[in-house]
Structure 1
């Protein structure tokens, strides 16, 4: 049970982290274009 919860949390954190990275990359590319 505990392992499943950990895995679930890890997956959610990983997804959020990837989304944040994408947003940061988009933001940086916009800045560099300006």
Structure 2
């Protein structure tokens, strides 16, 4: 049960980090495209 909870939290943290990286990459791409 506890292990499942830890796994869930890890998945949430990883997905947030990935989304943040993707957003940052998209911003960088937009900046490089525009100027």
Number of equivalenced pairs: 34
Q: Deviation string for 1:1-34 (max 9, x for gaps)? A: 1000000000000000000100000000000001
TM-score, normalising length from structure 2? 0.92
Query: Would you say 1:25 and 2:26 are equivalent positions?
Result: yes
The runs of 5 or more residues in structure 2 that have no matched partner are: none
The runs of 5 or more residues in structure 1 that have no matched partner are: none
4+ residue segments displaced more than 4 Å:
none
Structure 1 vs Structure 2 CA RMSD: 0.4
TM-score, normalising length from structure 1? 0.94
